[in-house]
Structure 1
Amino acid sequence: MIHTIQKSERLNVVDALRGFALLAIVLLHNLEHYNIYFIPEFQPAWLQVLDKWMWDSFFFLFSGKAYATFSLLFGFSFYIQFHHAEQKGLDFRGRFAWRLVLLFLFAQLHALFYNGDILVLYAVAGFVLIPVCKLKDKIVFWIAIFLLLQPFEWGRMLYALSDPDYVAVGNRFMIYSERVGGVTMNGSFWEVLRSNIWDGQLYSNFWQVENGRLFQTSALFMFGMLLGRNGSFIRNDRTIGFWKRVLGIGILAFVPLYLLRVFVPEHIDNPSVLLPYKIITQSLGNFAFMLILVSAFVLIWFKKENGGNWQKFIIPYGRMSLTNYISQSIIGVCIYYGFGLGLYRVTGATETLLIGLAIFTVQWVFSRYWLSCHKQGPLEYLWKQGTWIGSKNNKKK
């Protein structure tokens, strides 16, 4: 079903959910010291115990799930833009392709500072939406399911079972990780930028491809588009029932996937079978848990009709997600990297979470102030203007 967009309800819950996912991403990046995995050894015993608990808890709850939520909403945003253009008699596909090129340029800015960028992946995977955006829901759904199941990893695993001499490779990213590690810890600002132009991006993107995120991201984009087509963020009896079913499916799927991921690997002797097996179970497990988080968030929003106060609180942060995503990385590397304050040397998980909350607070205050004067964040505005550059639609605005 194609529904007319109802901004007042639909986008508020989506912006709140996007803000929640981005907050989780910020906290995870701080826990990692923005890809400097370093644990101070001089911390008191009680703090080490607390740090381990914080690390394990946050990674269990949000690692791979916050990114998946962000990806789901990227596909949803595509649907909104496509549908609005369609209502005006415009074909958005060409503009969207150009929009992805612009996103790639934003990614280059971000990747200069932080070697954990996901925007390059989004700019590439986003092109899968163009050929499927006019297909029927069922066709799109089954294509997304196929991609979600990690067909490449299944192929590798089955081939490894049939050929004992086959060696699966999944650590090419380590070559570039080792190159950038010393630079981020001890290099100057210009050395970090120079390293990230090539090695940092290869490190980030090899890691994502080798861990199944190319297929998973493409699937999530399609699922997000389907959520838009079916008006899944508009509150009514049908959508409440839909999200309750999603919550149940997420719970039923996550439990066995978690058990398969934790207990089966020790019984797999062939490393070329084990590697794709881990990627498949990890990817599917993260997807199932993401379903739990997203459906619970939306159902809580629907229960209050216009969302809970804590959900509405985070809306400004989600409305400026591109600006906040890029700027939090710039702030973070200045705090942790060697050219900045170098706090990776002295901060454990508990301190980094507090720093992450401080970054979020500063960005939330700025977001609220900026949106009181403007309709969009600064980078969101540039992205939109660039998308429609040269069009009559842009000139009217």
Structure 2
Amino acid sequence: MRANSSRLDVIDALRGFAIVSIMLLHNIEHFDFYFLPAGLPAWLVSVDKMIWDSLFFLFGGKSYAIFALLFGLTFYIQDHNRELRGEDFRARFAWRMVLLLGFGLFNSMFYHGDILSIYAVLGLALIPVARLRSGVVLCIAILLLLLPHAWVEFFQALPNPDEKLADPASWAYFGRAEKYMAHGSAFDVWMGNLTNGKIGVIRWSWENGRIFQIPALFMLGMLAGRKGLFIPSIANKTFWRKTLVIAVLAFIPLYLLKSNPDLWHIGAAVRRPLLVIVTSWSNVAFMAVLVSSFTLLSYAGNWLGIFSPLGRMSLTSYVVQSVIGTSIYYGFGLGLYKYTGASFALVIGLTLAVLQRQFSVWWLRRHKQGPLETLWHKATWIGAQSEAMPNIGANIPKNSL
């Protein structure tokens, strides 16, 4: 990699890696349509469970977190490059988030678990912190990662720790979604996802702390940009090694706690918010393991660049996988949810990831950006004196936190 290249290859590759891992998870989930086919042999059920558990251990709650981190990093690069030209990017960024919301709502028609629309709204949190000192931003990010809403629920539950809790509110919405995913027309799915499904996902995101976690990761990504942590250097190599060690040491006890909540010997009312907190922290810790490992491996050679084409077309890749994936699994399409366990769905996901990468390679030989990226770029700078925008990674300073 070249520190002075127009793009930092590791950022594209890491984003592409996240796209592939999301693709695999979404496929074994049947794009949020959880269904176990009947009549499978016992050995295949065991293999399916092993694949399911392994993929969720590696990527569940982590892939989207990588995206969030890189989202904040990209914001910083764009904002910094405009600042060097004497311009304030924040108003344009707000408009950019409005456009992203539009892409997200389109994607939500097919896949109600869409993250783009949530990123678009929560991304606005970067605007008021963009000019704050790094130490202040770090404190805000840590406060958000502590999940204050879950601690409020914990303290509220202390007087009656054994109180029987109702199911999380999001479950009712997801239960209703199964009906139109299985038997509805494409129109039924689109309307259901934009109403029932979207409310369910927002409620689920609140219940599981992501409404706080996502802007915190945005801010940490912005701070990584300020420090220039993805620029190849000896100092950064040392930083990522230390991060890897600390993240592993943090992840192990958090994962053990998350995996064995019955051993806590506390009431259900206080256990639920604590489990949300521990799970969130565990996912962030393992996300740091993945990012630091990936970045360190990038120092050893450019073989991870195989993911870069997908990373350069991440918006297009993310939306296209929703359109194709739901058409494969939902009832209005091929209805393969009835026949595919995790094993077969993984094969489908790997095949789609390879095809999507090859399409990205083919497209980028002919165009500078993916089709949706080009549309987003042009719409972002509509009405500006100069639509041209510095390439991501062009000017990342090495100043410290």
| Pair 1:349-2:349 in alignment | no
Cα separation, 1, equivalents of 2:116 and 2:60: 17
> 1:51–1:348: 8 Å Cα contact kept in structure 2?
yes
Deviation of the 1:208 alpha carbon: 1.2
Partner residue in 1 for 2:200: 203
Note if 1:245 corresponds to 2:242: yes
Q: 1:40 is paired with a residue of what secondary structure?
A: coil
Kept after mapping to 2: 8 A contact 1:25/1:67: yes
- 1:315-356: CA deviations, max 9, x gaps? 101100000001101000000000110000000101000100
- Deviation, 1:142, is 1.2
1:120: which partner in 2? 117
Counterpart in the other structure of 1:362: 355
CA distance in 2, matches of 1:107, 1:46: 39
The counterpart of 1:372, out of the listed 365, 380, 384, is 365
Q: Does 1:14 align with 2:11?
A: yes
Verify the 8 A CA contact 1:9 1:234 in the aligned structure 2.
Answer: no
Deviation for aligned residue 1:299: 0.3
Partner of 1:324: 317
Tell me which residue corresponds to 1:33.
30
| 8 Å contact kept, 2:111–2:322 | yes
- The percent identity for this pair of structures is 48
Q: Identify the residue that residue 398 of structure 2 maps to in structure 1.
A: none
The Cα shift of 1:61 comes to 0.7
TM-score, normalization: structure 1?
0.94
Q: What SS does the aligned partner of 1:38 have? A: coil
Quote the offset at 1:396 in angstroms: 9.6
Paired residue for 2:147? 150
User: Partner letter of residue 271 of structure 2?
Assistant: L
Q: CA deviation at 1:270?
A: 2.5
Q: Offset at 1:173?
A: 1.1
In 2, distance between residues paired with 1:166 and 1:132?
40
Question: Distance in 1 between the 2:146 and 2:75 partners?
Answer: 23
The 2-side partners of 1:54 and 1:32 are apart by 12
- Between 1 and 2, higher relative CO (CA 8 Å, sep ≥ 6) is seen in 2
Deviations 1:183-236 (A, max 9, x none): 001111111112112111112221112111010101100000011111101111
Cα separation, 1, equivalents of 2:340 and 2:246: 39
Indicate conservation of the 8 Å contact 2:13/2:307, yes or no: yes
Matches within 5 A, 1:1-397: 6=3, 8=5, 11-162=8-159, 171-304=168-301, 307=302, 309=303, 311-394=304-387
Q: Structure 1 unaligned runs (5+)? A: none
3-state SS in 2 of match to 1:135? coil
Can you give the 5+ residue segments of structure 2 that lack an aligned partner in the other structure?
391-401
Per-residue CA deviations over 1:47-80 (Å, capped at 9, x if unaligned) read: 1111111011111111001111111000011011
Q: What is the CA distance between 1:41 and its match in structure 2?
A: 2.4
C-alpha distance in structure 2 between counterparts of 1:315 and 1:395, whole Å: 22
Count of residues paired in the alignment: 389
Deviations 1:221-258 (A, max 9, x none): 00000111111011111100110111011011001111
Q: Which amino acid aligns with 2:174?
A: S
Give CA deviations for 1:114-142 in whole Å, capped at 9, x if unaligned: 11111121011101111111111111111
Q: Distance in 2 between matches of 1:129 and 1:106?
A: 20
Deviations 1:331-386 (A, max 9, x none): 00000000110000000101000100111122111111111011111111111111
Greater displacement, 147-156 / 337-346: 147-156
Evaluate the alpha carbon distance shift between residue 39 and residue 323 of structure 1 in structure 2; reply closer, same or farther with a 3 A threshold: same
Q: CA RMSD in A?
A: 1.8
Provide the rounded CA distance (Å) in 2 between the counterparts of 1:21 and 1:259.
25
Which letter maps to 2:80? H
Deviation track 1:65-97 (CA, whole Å, cap 9, x = no partner) reads 111111100001101100111011110110111
Structure 2: distance between partners of 1:372 and 1:18: 19
Q: Which portions of structure 1, spanning 4 or more consecutive aligned residues, are displaced by more than 4 angstroms?
A: 163-170
